[in-house]
Each structure stands twice: as structure tokens, then as C-alpha cells.
Amino acid sequence: MAFNNIYDCIIADDHEIDRLTTLAFAKKYAFLNIVGVYENAEAALAEVNQLKPQVLLLDIDMGEKSGLQLRRQLMSIDACIFITSYPDYAIESFEVAALDFLVKPLKAERFDRAMMRLQAYLELKYKSELFDYSLNGDTIFVKDGHNHIKIKLHEILYLEALKDYTRIVTRRKKHCVLISLGNLLTNPSFKSFVRVHRSYAVQKHFIDRITPQHVWVNDVKIPVGRSYKEGLQQLYFNASED
């Protein structure tokens, strides 16, 4: 499944031409959003907490504070690629979890390989963090970045299948989780949901209206699949009897 995510990136290099070269190369990649370009590590460090980038493109030899020192202070940032004139720093760079190490002058082909590796790494990391959940009675805990969000099952409006993933929709937010809709619905905790389409299951008590082609849930129109109509009609019939 392709997410086409965009990741914020900062660049730090004390040589203007090299800095602009890195910027020009990086701008060619749609998955990168350059949020800051700095001429030294101190300037980058002053703004990084506000910008919260996922990617660092760093020179190493930058005067008072090196790119290696900067990285040591920013180990929580997902990915770091060093771009330097000094290949002797390679071993040190990987000791601070560098994803790649590029030697100046930059070459388009080598930079492209680094970017493809970067994107693959970020997408894999993103997917691995999508779904880390636990069920506890009427509550599901969904991992959201470094935090776990508690969702009460009765607050979920509907579930939407996205191939191997499922989107959990509440009034306040949508969460994408790494489990198929069919597998999720086999859990007894989701017995209050009814499948109305191969791509949708809705919480019964949120259904506002039912027609042969659609159900309305909290003003959202959801299609009814042909093979699910009979079960939905039975639900409607039972509700009418009540």
C-alpha cells in the first residue's frame, strides 16, 4: 500500500554553495518538505524543537559544533544522512545511527539512491507504527507516533478497509491501523459492528438511515454492497420490531 507521505527535513551546512546544492537536489523529491536550511549546527538546534523534522541532511565539519555533535543531541529524529567532504568520518557517522553517508561533491545518481533508501526506511517505520494496539474491555489503545491513544469502542462510527489496513473513524479523528477489516471484525469486542460493504463496517447504534444502496452514519453516506443487503435488511427488520 502506498501512503505518499511527506516528511519534514532540515539541511545544515556551513558552505553556502554546498548548502544550496543539497537544497536543489532535495527539492526534487516530493516526499521531502524542506522546513529549514541553516549555515551552522547552532542555528539548526535553536529551531529544531519547533519544526520537529523527521529528516536531517547534515554536513559534519561545521565550526564550533559538528554535524556529529548535532546528531547526538537529536537522536530522536527518525533519519539522518551526512553529506561531507571527509570520508574518514564514515565510521563515526554510523555510530550515531546515520542512514547514509555521502561524500562531496554530490552526484545525482548517488543522491537518488540515498533518497530511495530514505523513503523506503521512513515508509516502513511509519507502517510499523501504525498499529500497535491492545484491547481492554470496551477500550482500544492505538499507537499514534510515540503515544498511545485510548478510544472507547462505542465511540467508533465506522471502519473502512484499506487493503491490509483498516481506518478507524470517530467523530474527532481517523486512525489507520495495520490489520485487515475482516480480521478486526472477528474480535468479539467488535460485535456491535455490522458489515455493509466489503470496504465498510458500521457501528449499529450510529446508523441514522438505511436505504437499499446506502446507510447514513453521523451524516456520512456509506455504500451498501450487494452481498450485504440481506443482513442489513434483517437488521432493519429486527430494529423495526423493537
Phi-psi group of 89: left, alpha or beta (phi > 0 → left; psi -120 to 50 → alpha; rest → beta): alpha
Its CATH class, for the domain covering 134-241, is mainly beta
C-alpha cell at 158: 465506522
- pLDDT value of position 238: 52
Alpha carbon distance 42, 65 (integer Å): 7
| Domain locations in the chain as residue ranges | 7-129, 134-241
Q: Report the C-alpha gap between 167 and 159 in whole angstroms.
A: 6
pLDDT value of position 101: 96
Is residue 235 scored above 70 in pLDDT? no
Q: Is the pTM of this model over 0.75?
A: no
pLDDT per position as a tens digit, 62-116: 989 999 999 999 998 989 999 999 999 999 999 999 999 999 999 999 999 999 9
Is the Cβ–Cβ distance between 67 and 44 less than 8 Å?
no
Q: Which CATH architecture has domain 7-129?
A: 3-Layer(aba) Sandwich (3.40)
Q: In sequence order, what are the residues at sequence separation of 6 or more whose Cβ sits closer than 8 angstroms to the Cβ of residue 134?
A: 140, 141
Type of residue found at 119: Q
pLDDT digits (tens, 9 = 90+) for 1-57: 344 588 999 999 999 999 999 999 999 999 999 999 999 999 999 999 899 899 999
What is the SS3 assignment for 231?
helix
Q: Which amino acid is at 40?
A: N
